[in-house]
Chain A
Amino acid sequence: MKEVIILPERCMGCRSCEVACAVSHSKSRNLFSALGEETAPKKRIYVEYMPALGAAVPITCRHCDDAPCVSVCPAKALSMDEDTGTVNHNIERCVDCWKCSMVCTRFSSLYQLILVSGCWTSSMSSNREIINRWTEEDTSRRCDLCEGRELPACVEACPTHALVFMEIKRQQGTNAFSFS
């Protein structure tokens, strides 16, 4: 299975991924025509500034069916909403342990960055906002890896390759994974 891998240390905060994502989910799939569409197209990726890191990172959630983050969350802060099929995050329960990020293909590199920088104050709250943003506005909006495209639009648009599209290998029976 191929997945979008985020390499946050490469992100320059240009937001090209955001616009490309919105255009790719517009009716016309064309930047100039998308501007005039009745419903403004919505993006599924957010470049979030993380003050503690002093850097912006692209964050996106796929709301995976098997959601490994939900299964490893010791505080049950993450849960799967069976009706909408989306992952929810409850800040009241979250203990900022980052376990979820260790098993998530999209957040693991952010976790690595935080490990390296020793910046534990940059809490999971950044992730939480992104994850919940979907469900607040429109339950059906989630990253679909740009169905029908060879490369997801965000990956194609990223001028510094902070977003890459890679083959993911999960170890059977565990939540561990590797990509190449």
Chain B
Amino acid sequence: MKLTALEKSIDPASQSMLNKAENEGIETAWDRYEQQLPQCSFGQLGICCRNCNMGPCRIDPFGEGAEKGICGATADIIVARNLLRMIAAGAAAHSDHARDAVLTFKKMSEGEAGSYGIKDEAKLFSLASEYGISAEGKRREELAAELANVLLMEFGKQNGPLLCTKRAPESRLKLWSELGIEPRGIDREIVECMHRTHMGVDNNATHILLQGLRTGLSDGWGGSMIATDVQDILFGTPEPKKSTVNLGVLSHDKVNVIVHGHEPILSEMIVEAAEDPELLELAKKKGASGINVAGICCTGNETLMRHGTPIAGTFLQQELAVITGAVEAMVVDVQCVMPSLGGLAGCYHTKFISTSPKADFPGALRMEFHEEKAYDTAKEIVRTAVENFPNRNLEKVNIPAEKQDCMVGFSAEAILKALGGSPDPLINAIAGGAVKGIGAVVGCNNVKVQHNYGHVNLVKELIKNNVLVVTTGCNAIACAEAGLLVPEAAALAGDGLKGVCEALGIPPVLHMGSCVDISRILVLASAIANRLGVDISSLPAAGAAPEWMSEKAVSIGAYVVSSGVFTVLGTVPPVLGSQAVTALLTKGLDGVVGASFAVEPDPFKAANLMLEHIEGKRKALGLN
């Protein structure tokens, strides 16, 4: 099998870089995917177990060979255990990101991280009061320090519930408590997943999966939510603003610095350092007209939401950005960074700079980043990029022309503000039928899906049918590239949604942030549910992850569904080897948490599933 550039991506900028790669003999993720085909059937079905050294064991999916592992584990047990480990890894990634954000916040409040400050004082006060901390007579730094300590305790807490869960409607809290899946402590749930999946511990698929839901909740209503809150205090709560996306944002005459990964702790500093007069002067000396910072993945989304810093691309465009030949430095922190980047950067003049104490890569220049001297390190990183500018080989440079305007910055606070301070106008629009419901579309790219095909077509289908879409992560970037994040995209929406968007001057697809910011969607859904006096599962809302690939997405799926939102997955999770687990996830959960999963690779059919679900919920609420 040999895919053409047109088959690999729907995005013209990406297609032209894929052709450039082919002409230059450069390998990309798609080439490596082809080398992996056909992929291992046991892995795809989730029926391979490597949890002890009597194994590896695998189950014959067609019943002729082994039906049990050496310990006696059936396909049901093996699939459930493997899924739980995926959830644990995903929750760990989000929550460890949150921990670092809180630790930075704490150091800032204690005066040990001078590069950072308090940007959103109002949010500091409201969060402190939510956590029961009195602000009376305290300097704001004192209050921040106290809040940081309380937030850190959420990680090591033994007995729940996590305090953020209080934001969910009463009915949800009661349900979680009755099911025994109230998250107790962020770290505790993850540790317990690893314990339960150790040889000879939890061997009941349903019981294992309930821990999966609890761990997911500790991410969505714990780690991710804390990350969002603390980052808002440190860097500002996003407000609507304009920016541009796609590979065309890279500059011919400026120094291009790409920030890629997930945490704003670093990228915020890079954005600041890129405006440093000393470095701008140096850039001029090196023959550049300025310094251009562009983002990839969620660290890009963080700076996009708060500063309007342009975005160069989605997850699957990270290699393509380097292939433009115009990137002086690819600066990365954690998560979704391909280890191929080191070798790839070596084919161009690009410096591949790894910064996280947790994440090193082959071929990377290490410039470890610590909060205490954050700005100095950021300056050194940008200086390295500037000094690399004269090494750009113009014969190898080809920056695609495609760049697209977008309107971003829709935090839950910003959406409520746009609605005039209360969710009522949106609720009225939904009740009146102008807006049928809300679709939350999120997630990664995956080479198994034509790049951005699932994202863009699913979202277009939803808005055409008057479903307001809220988006985060790589779906948001994909939608931005397709021109769906501008108010003019209302023309693609059904008449009802179009009218609402035009009245408010907003796009039909609202960019709510990075993948930890899916917690903003939970807060928004709770605000609407609470206002209506119903549970989240009663709302005419549905979720989707059309091109998901990461373990984080599995954790997200677990907390979105256990928060009561029906979710459609665009790529098949490795669970089909167990009929029992598959049935539980796609049907059984409905009777447990009031929502379940569906798997549908075709974005048009996936949209239909979501629309049918929304229609059903509207009917149940007595709306037509």
Cross-chain contact of A157 among B38, B58, B572 (Cβ < 8 A): B38
Cross-chain contact of B62 among A32, A34, A159 (Cβ < 8 A): A34
Chain B CB within 10 Å, residue with most, of A15, A20, A42, A157: A15
**CB pair A43 B62 closer than 8 Å:** yes
Residue A69, interface by CB 8 Å: no
Which residues of chain A are near B38, meaning CB under 8 Å?
16, 20, 156-157
Residue B45, interface by CB 8 Å: yes
Cross-chain contact of A35 among B61, B64, B65 (Cβ < 8 A): B61
**CB pair B64 A23 closer than 8 Å:** no
- Please tell me the size bucket of the interface on B: 10 to 19
**CB pair A19 B41 closer than 8 Å:** yes
In the bound complex, CA of A148 to CA of B501 (Å): 53
- Please tell me the size bucket of the interface on A: 10 to 19
Which residues of chain B are near A42, meaning CB under 8 Å?
62, 64
Please count the residue pairs between chain A and chain B whose beta carbons lie under 8 angstroms apart in the complex. Answer: 48
Residue A104, interface by CB 8 Å: no
Secondary structure at the B interface, as helix, strand, loop or mixed, is: loop
Which residues of chain A are near B61, meaning CB under 8 Å?
19, 22, 31, 35
Which residues of chain A are near B45, meaning CB under 8 Å?
31, 35
Quick one: closest A residue to B37, CB to CB? Answer: A156
Quick one: closest B residue to A153, CB to CB? Answer: B38
Q: Mark interface residues in A6-42 (1 if CB within 8 Å of B CB, else 0).
A: 0000000011101110110000000110110000111
Residue B3, interface by CB 8 Å: no
Which residues of chain B are near A43, meaning CB under 8 Å?
62, 64
Which residues of chain A are near B64, meaning CB under 8 Å?
22, 40, 42-43
In the bound complex, CA of A31 to CA of B579 (Å): 14
In the bound complex, CA of A32 to CA of B573 (Å): 11
**CB pair A18 B65 closer than 8 Å:** yes
Cross-chain contact of B58 among A15, A22, A34, A156 (Cβ < 8 A): A15
**CB pair A32 B572 closer than 8 Å:** yes
In the bound complex, CA of A42 to CA of B64 (Å): 8
- B431-473 contacts to A, CB under 8 A, are none
Which residues of chain B are near A18, meaning CB under 8 Å?
60, 65
In the bound complex, CA of A22 to CA of B60 (Å): 10
In the bound complex, CA of A43 to CA of B63 (Å): 11
Secondary structure at the A interface, as helix, strand, loop or mixed, is: helix
Which residues of chain A are near B576, meaning CB under 8 Å?
32, 35
In the bound complex, CA of A170 to CA of B71 (Å): 48
Q: In the complex, what's the smallest C-beta–C-beta distance from B572 to chain A, in angstroms?
A: 6
- A134-180 contacts to B, CB under 8 A, are 156-157, 159
Chain B CB within 10 Å, residue with most, of A19, A20, A34: A19
Q: Mark interface residues in B14-51 (1 if CB within 8 Å of A CB, else 0).
A: 00000000000000000000000010111011000000
Chain A CB within 10 Å, residue with most, of B61, B63, B577: B61
Q: Mark interface residues in B551-594 (1 if CB within 8 Å of A CB, else 0).
A: 00000000000000000000010001101000000000000000
Q: In the complex, what's the smallest C-beta–C-beta distance from A50 to chain B, in angstroms?
A: 16
In the bound complex, CA of A93 to CA of B176 (Å): 68
Which residues of chain A are near B41, meaning CB under 8 Å?
16, 19-20, 23, 31, 157
In the bound complex, CA of A107 to CA of B60 (Å): 25
In the bound complex, CA of A44 to CA of B61 (Å): 15
Which residues of chain B are near A156, meaning CB under 8 Å?
38
Cross-chain contact of A40 among B40, B44, B62, B572 (Cβ < 8 A): B62
Quick one: closest A residue to B63, CB to CB? Answer: A40
In the bound complex, CA of A41 to CA of B41 (Å): 14
Which residues of chain B are near A19, meaning CB under 8 Å?
41-42, 60-62
**CB pair A15 B42 closer than 8 Å:** yes
In the bound complex, CA of A16 to CA of B44 (Å): 11
Chain A CB within 10 Å, residue with most, of B41, B58, B63: B41
Which residues of chain B are near A40, meaning CB under 8 Å?
62-64
A-B contact pairs, 17 of them (CB 8 A): A14-B40, A15-B58, A16-B42, A18-B60, A19-B42, A19-B60, A19-B62, A20-B38, A20-B41, A22-B61, A32-B44, A32-B572, A35-B61, A35-B576, A40-B62, A40-B64, A156-B38
18 more A-B residue pairs beyond the given contacts A19-B61, A19-B62, with a C-beta to C-beta distance below 8 A: A14-B40, A16-B38, A16-B41, A20-B41, A22-B61, A22-B64, A23-B41, A31-B41, A32-B44, A32-B576, A34-B62, A35-B61, A35-B576, A35-B579, A40-B62, A42-B62, A42-B64, A43-B64
B residues in contact (CB < 8 Å) with A:
38, 40-42, 44-45, 58, 60-65, 572, 576-577, 579
| Across the A-B interface, the 7 shortest Cβ-Cβ residue pairs | A19-B41, A40-B62, A22-B62, A157-B38, A40-B63, A31-B41, A32-B576
